[in-house]
Amino acid sequence: MTVRLNGDERECREGATIANLVEELGLGKKRIAVEVNQDIIPHEEYVHHGLKHGDEVEIVHFVGGGC
């Protein structure tokens, strides 16, 4: 199945969870936030939340910035 991750298409295996995706990306220990179809998913739900074909996934973190 395909999801849209930060604006780009990405192949995921059927039944993959957010936890799987985050681990695959090496972001498991980073301070990130994840949105699926504009809903923020709490960290504790990553292991339960299955991704579906066509999901719009956003993963954000903190970068340098001032104003």
Return residues touching another protein (CB under 8 A).
5-8, 10, 25-27, 30-35, 38, 40, 42-43, 58-67
**Virtual CA dihedral for 13, 14, 19, 23, nearest 10 degrees?**
-10
* Cβ-based nearer residue to another protein, 2 or 6: 6
* Cβ-based nearer residue to another protein, 13 or 61: 61
Q: Minimum CB separation from another protein for residue 32, in Å?
A: 6
d(CA 46, CA 40): 11
d(CA 59, CA 22): 9
